[in-house]
Structure 1
Amino acid sequence: MQAIVVTPVKDALKATLQTIRAIYQSDTDFSYIVFNDNSTTETRIALEAESKRLGYELIHLEDITETPSPNYKTVLQIAQQRAVAQKLPLVIIESDVTIQTDTLRRLLEFNGGQVNPGLVGAITHDERGEINFPYLKFKDQQGAAIKTNRSLSFCCTLLSLGFLEKYDFRGLDVSKDWYDTHISHKATELGFDNFILMEVPVIHQPHASRPWKMLKYKNPLLYYFKKWFLGKDKI
């Protein structure tokens, strides 16, 4: 076993199954956990059937917490506990991402070759092969691996064992929905190096599981109304 891999799921069943099946094409040994975050009954049944077929561990978050979706904090806490207990890095692959056969191996090889890695992210592409959200900020960067103090997304990101052992996710702010920005900055604050791998592409379908977030691009006024006045998307 070389890594603990986790995928948080909130419906978007077609994209989710594509994510899961691509992970199982990996040329690397891993342990896999899918976290179902209060999806519909249809999605729950499909995930259970796929779990029986492929053998991954399936955790229904509604069975262990009454907190409404998103429950990313709970996902991170359970995943960290498993990774630290097994002395393995953690790789988060979200349910709107399709990885390549060698993605996990290349993330792990890069991580193993660094002195003090924190987070290592795979660059996101659209289906045409162009860099897309959330990594447009790296579009004009040169080099195979970019060391960065800028935040990484959890689209497809490795969190090193060293970092997981040093920063306890039980202290994450319960008022937030998402933690990639906070954790990225915490890693550099603690002296770890974060990287984005420009030659390790994954296909990203932004916000497939939470389509209302596309309002950020289509209707930003409505998006920020929902964000600030309805308390959604707290980073």
Structure 2
Amino acid sequence: MQAIVVTPVKDALEASLETIRAVKQAQGTFSYWVFDDFSTETTKAGLQAAQKDMDFELVHLEDLTADPSPNYDKVLVCAQKEALKTGLPLIIVESDVTVQSDTFARLVSFAAANPATGLVGAITQDERGKVNFPYLKFKQEKRTGALQTQRSLSFCCTLLSNPFLSAYDFSNLDLDKDWYDTHISHKARELGFDNYILMDLPVLHRPHGSRPWKQLKYTNPLVYYFKKWFSGKDKI
């Protein structure tokens, strides 16, 4: 076994199934966990059917908590426990991302060769091969290969090393927040680890495919920010 791979799912069934299929076709031997975060009955049924066909661990978070979605903290806590139990790195692949066959092997290889690694992420691209959200901040970067960065990484497709997981207990995460990639990126550096983005390891990303309401950020920003600030959504 080379890593624990997890995918949080909130509806968007077809996009989620595309993510799952790509993960299951990737090179290497990985333990794969899908966390269903209070999806509709249709999505739950689709995931259960896919589990039988593709053989992955499926966790319905409604069996673990009554807290409403999003429950990213529960996903992280459960995934960290599994990674520490097995002594393996953790790779998060979100349900709007399609990995390549060598994505995991290269992430694992890089972390093994660079033992001070905290987080290492694959660069996100659109269907045309152009760098896209959330890594537009690296769009003008001319360097190829590994770029060490002080900027936050996204969890789109990111490895968290076992040494870092051993150094920071996710049960201490702020439960008032919804998303934790920025906080965990900074925490890794605070604890003396290095974070990297692999500019030559692209994954296909369809931004916010897993949370369609967030498309409002581009189509109707006033409504998006109303939901974000006044409805208590999307706290980072």
Do the two structures share a fold, i.e. TM-score over 0.5? yes
User: In the TM superposition, what are the counterparts of 1:91-110 in structure 2 within 5 Å?
Assistant: 91-110=91-110
Match of 1:74 in 2: 74
1:125 and 2:125 aligned:
yes
Shift of 1:218: 1.8
**SS in structure 2 of the partner of residue 58 of structure 1:** strand
Which one-letter code corresponds to 2:235 in the other structure?
Answer: K
Q: Which residues in structure 2 correspond to 1:190-205 (within 5 Å)?
A: 190-205=191-206
CA drift of 1:115 comes to 3.0
The CA deviation string for residues 27-86 of structure 1, in whole angstroms up to 9 with x for no partner, is 111000000000010110111111111110100001110000000000000000000010
State how many pairs are aligned.
Answer: 235
Q: 2:119 is aligned with what amino acid?
A: L
- Which sections of structure 2, spanning at least 5 residues, go unmatched? none
Within 2, Cα distance between the matches of 1:188 and 1:221? 34
Question: SS of 2:29's equivalent?
Answer: coil
Q: Distance in 1 between matches of 2:58 and 2:212?
A: 23
Q: Partner residue of 1:10? A: 10
How far apart are the structure 1 equivalents of 2:196 and 2:52? 35
Shift of 1:118: 0.2
Please tell me the residue identity of whatever aligns with 1:74: K
TM-score (norm 1): 0.99
> For residues 205-216 of structure 1, what are the structure 2 equivalents within 5 Å?
205-216=206-217
CA distance in 2, matches of 1:50, 1:210: 21
Shift of 1:215: 1.4
In 1, Cα distance between equivalents of 2:51 and 2:21: 11
Aligned equivalent of 1:221: 222
Matches of 1:95 and 1:115 in 2, distance apart? 28
**Which TM-score applies when normalising by structure 2?**
0.98
Alignment partners' CA distance in 2, 1:143 and 1:26: 23
> RMSD across aligned C-alpha pairs, in angstroms?
0.7
1:111 counterpart residue number: 111
Q: Tell me, what secondary structure is at the counterpart of 1:5?
A: strand
Q: 2:173 maps to which residue?
A: 172
What is aligned with 1:28? 28
**In structure 2, how many angstroms separate the alpha carbons of the residues matched to 1:102 and 1:115?**
20
- Matched letter for residue 170 of structure 1: S
Percent of aligned pairs with the same amino acid = 65
SS at the partner of 1:202? strand
Name the SS for the 1:209 alignment partner: coil
The one-letter amino acid paired with 2:47 is L
Q: Which residue of 1 aligns with 2:57?
A: 57
Which is worse superposed, 143-152 or 71-80? 143-152
Structure 2: distance between partners of 1:190 and 1:220: 36
One-letter amino acid matched to 2:95? S
In the TM superposition, what is the alpha-carbon distance from 1:223 to its structure 2 partner? 1.1
Cα distance, 1:217 vs structure 2: 1.7
Alpha-carbon distance in 1 for matches of 2:140, 2:85? 39
The structure 1 segments of at least 4 consecutive aligned residues displaced by more than 3 Å after TM superposition are: none
